[in-house]
Amino acid sequence: MNRQTFSGLDAVCLLLASPLLSAAEPVSADLIITHAHVVTMNDAREVFEDGVVVIQGSRIVAVGPASASAGFTAKKTIDARGGLVLPGMINTHTHASMTVFRGLGDDVPDRLRKLIFPLEKALIDRELVYWGGLHGMIEMIEGGVTTFVDMYYFEDEVARAAKKIGLRGVLGETVVNFPAPDAPEPYGGIAYAKKFAAAYRDDPLITPALAPHAPYSLDADHLRLIAHESEVLGLPVLMHVAEMPAEIATLRQEHNMTPVEYLDSLGLLNRRLVAAHCIFVTDSDIALLKARDVGVAHNVVANIKSAKGIAPVVKMLAAGLRLGLGTDGPMSGNTLDVIGQLGYVAKLQKLDQKDPTVMPALHVVELATRGGARAIHREADLGSLEAGKLADVIIIDADATALVPLYDPYAALTYGASGKDVRTSIIHGRVVMEDRRITTVNVAEVRARMRAIGARIKASIAAGKK
């Protein structure tokens, strides 16, 4: 999972590039962000109120006060005009292409089996996955997301869309025990995933993954096979874990285990696993998740909306779990914007614990950035603004109403800001949104495609009701 580590060679190049060693000659960089209120999220949580970020190629080469850019010239300068500059948000669990179904059949019981699976079976094809995915990625970039962790069908189409728009992704091909839209045989997702993984090996933006749907939707033999393939091929495994009351009951009845214990017995509980939800985890499950170095995706808004339960986030954090934030799919949480989740993360834990001091804003912003990077074991490259890390950087509008006046950037982001306050986004050193304009795809075309797909889905549902 950690293929893009900061190599020793890069370190040497950085040293050579340092203006301190060659005071006379300015070093040419690609991009300098000036007049930035830099919230680094580095180990010391340094903040530079009038700071700079210097980017060369795909990496950050300098971060600090205004003087840190002395000695650099750049092809492009972006004046942040006092806006908050942060590492991009990491969405550790979603199904981006489900934008095509957003808003269908909300507020009803047992949606997954009665509504979502049948809709997907009837309608999902390559075109829906590509355009729905691209539409979801526009929403994520507009909301400050620079890395997303996705599980769906035709995941190669999600990868194609992510490459086109320039969004970083850990992309998992779904495996289930029934015929899927992209695999007529049950478990056909395993072969599909292997082919997809081979096509995207060593891609700078895309990390292919295996995505077994959940402990209850695959049999034990296939879960063991996935653990084996993941180890042999070095692929991350993305999975819904301890999300459903019925899942807990079934595994208790059939194996006398919790989902976490069950996955451990099959060899799936390890550093390659990103476990989404983990609502129903016991204290000993949390200890096991920690011991096995598993990443966990907390999907607060989707969990509230589905009324399933409150994940023990305070306990997970106290245990030192690799915990990040996710939106879940747009049919579950109805939004892909991580900044919009932040307030809920804090407030639900405060309410649950009847204690306004738990889950302070700093910790919430940590979850969305450093925590997400840790959840996918990419903290060497992502999650903070530091020289040597990948250049995934967002700029938040200094004039955003809820941020004026600005006292505490963490509190402002968590309790006041909206994803719509993100003005500019840089991913892998590339400016993918500048002053709210997506630079890499034609947004109007994507919207037109989505409206046409929506009309097709509406007609298909109407025909089915006749």
Dist. CA 239–CA 297, nearest whole Å: 10
**Closest CA relative to residue 90, chosen from 363, 277, 370, 361:** 370
Task: Tell me how far, at minimum, the Cβ of 413 lies from Zn ion, in Å.
Answer: 25
Q: Which residues contact 326 (CB under 8 A, 6 or more apart)?
A: 91, 92, 93, 94, 149, 276, 297, 298, 299, 302
Alpha carbon separation from 243 to 2, 95, 178, 246, 320 (Å, rounded) = 27, 16, 20, 9, 21
In the complex with Zn ion, the residue whose CB is nearer, 182 or 328, is 328
Cβ-in-10-Å burial (0-12, 13-18, 19+) of 461 comes to middle
Cα angle value 15/17/21 (rounded, 5°): 70
Q: Cα(451)–Cα(213) distance, rounded to whole angstroms?
A: 29
- Name which of 48 and 153 has its Cβ closer to Zn ion: 153
CB of 104 to Zn ion, least distance (A): 16
Q: Which is nearer to Zn ion, 152 or 187 (CB)?
A: 152
Rule CB under 5 A: say whether 157 interacts with Zn ion: no
Judged by beta carbon, residue 211 or residue 288, the one nearer Zn ion is: 211
Give me 253's structure tokens. 């009845």
The tokens for 368 are 């969305």
Q: Measured on CA atoms in the order 294, 325, 33, 58, is the torsion positive or negative?
A: positive
> Is 328 or 392 the residue whose CB approaches Zn ion more closely?
328
- Find the DSSP H helices in 81-240: 111, 117-123, 126-142, 155-165, 189-199, 220-233
CB of 132 to Zn ion, least distance (A): 15
Q: Return the number of the residue (109 or 405) whose C-beta is nearest Zn ion.
A: 109
Q: Which residue is nearest to Zn ion (CB)?
A: 328
CB of 218 vs Zn ion, minimal distance in Å: 15
CB of 129 to Zn ion, least distance (A): 15
**Contact at 8 Å (CB) between 355 and 163?**
no
User: Whose Cβ is closer to Zn ion: residue 264's or residue 328's?
Assistant: 328
Q: Quick one: DSSP state of residue 309?
A: -
Q: In the complex, what is the shortest distance from the CB of residue 213 to Zn ion, in angstroms, rounded to a whole number?
A: 9
- Smaller CB distance to Zn ion: residue 182 or 243? 243
Q: How many Å apart are CA 245 and CA 240, to the nearest integer?
A: 13
Number of residues that bind Zn ion (CB under 5 A): 1
Rounded to whole angstroms, how far apart are CA atoms 245 and 423? 40
Q: Which is nearer to Zn ion, 95 or 389 (CB)?
A: 95
Shortest distance, position 328 Cβ to Zn ion, whole Å: 5
Distance in Å, CB of 101 to Zn ion, minimum: 13
Under 8 Å between Cβ of 90 and 372 = yes
- Least distance between Zn ion and beta carbon 221 (Å): 24
Q: Which is nearer to Zn ion, 157 or 328 (CB)?
A: 328
Rounded Cα distance, 460 and 378, in Å: 42
Q: How far is the CB of 341 from Zn ion (least distance, A)?
A: 14
- Write the binding mask 300 to 339 for Zn ion: x where contact by CB under 5 A, - elsewhere: ----------------------------x-----------
Residues of this chain that interact with Zn ion (CB under 5 A) are 328
